Amino acid sequence: MNLANDGATFSAIYDWNYVLWEVRLKLLAAGFFSYLGVFITAHWLSSWISATYCTLSTKQKIFWNMDITRGLFAVQSCGAGLWALLIDPVFQVDQVYSQQKWSWFHCLIAAGYFLLENIVFNVSNIVFRVFNVFEGVHHLFAFGGLLGLIINIKSGHYLPLMGLLLEMNTPSYCISSILARIGCANTLFWKANQWINIHMLHCRMVLIYHMWWVCISHWNDVVENLGLPYFIVFFMGLSTLTLILNPYWIFRSTQRLFVPVDRKFPKTAVKNASYENLNSETFQKKRI
């Protein structure tokens, strides 16, 4: 095994000329279609493996498949974010202006994913006539932030990578949602996974404070580097996440630990519970 050759091969994956619009758009499209492929594969595998999945409504199937896609994306995002936070020497020295070829790659792929998520989210809202304000705001700012990065090629990548690391709670949340839909919300594994989700949401708050610290410590440099329009989008998104979204998600996840109801389909869960109680009462009456 030649470590030098393996390292060169690994580096060659990121060896693109990211200054070119053509390259940036190709990688954005690659991210979009790669995760669209994950979405379709999740549907095919779930239809084949899970009997419960086949009984779900179209709306529930879409969210099921999107949960799987989102969970896989979160693994990639957390890997890139942790590398920038803890290992990469360039980002350790400069948290405002620094860029790396590998960070370009991951940010552009992430932009493609968030484009897919916004399309699925908005089309679902139109077709099923529903709208989740908190998720809509989250998806909009996530894609808007990375879109600004694509347009302004001089922007540093440390803060966007920390934004990707905020996906740290997503795998446990997606597992929790799927388990709740297949009727495993009262199991010990579900409760342990939900505790992990709540813990990760609190860790997100610590990371958000770190992002604020970087911004405040280098305020003028951050504004100059990002550019005023992109900075306004980033500042609004970070403020909304700090003051509204993350505290709300912490509250709902903690509430869900004690009342395990699917957040996206609470009425359905309540109806099913009432129906089961009614059937139980009817059965008891028949026995009497």
Structure tokens at 140: 């909009």
Residue 2, in any domain of the structure: no
pLDDT (0 to 100) of residue 263: 56
Of 97, 106, 111, give the one whose Cα is nearest residue 75. Answer: 106
Q: Lowest-confidence range among 2-11, 56-65, 169-178?
A: 2-11
Residue 8, in any domain of the structure: no
pLDDT (mean) for 216-227: 94
pLDDT (0 to 100) of residue 270: 38
Indicate if the pLDDT at residue 128 is higher than 70: yes
Residue 151, in any domain of the structure: yes
Cβ atoms of 166 and 204 within 8 Å: the answer is: yes
Residue 9, in any domain of the structure: no
Q: How many domains does the chain have?
A: 1
Q: Which domain holds residue 271?
A: 18-287
- Model pLDDT for residues 253-279, shown as the tens digit of each residue: 999 888 766 555 555 443 444 334 333
Q: Which residues contact 142 (CB under 8 A, 6 or more apart)?
A: 114, 117, 163, 237
Structure tokens at 216: 């405040």
Residue 211, in any domain of the structure: yes
Place of tokens 């200054």: 19
Indicate if the pLDDT at residue 119 is higher than 80: yes
Mean per-residue pLDDT of the chain: 86
In this prediction, residue 80 has a pLDDT band, given cuts at 50, 70 and 90, of very high
Residue 161, in any domain of the structure: yes
Residue 107, in any domain of the structure: yes
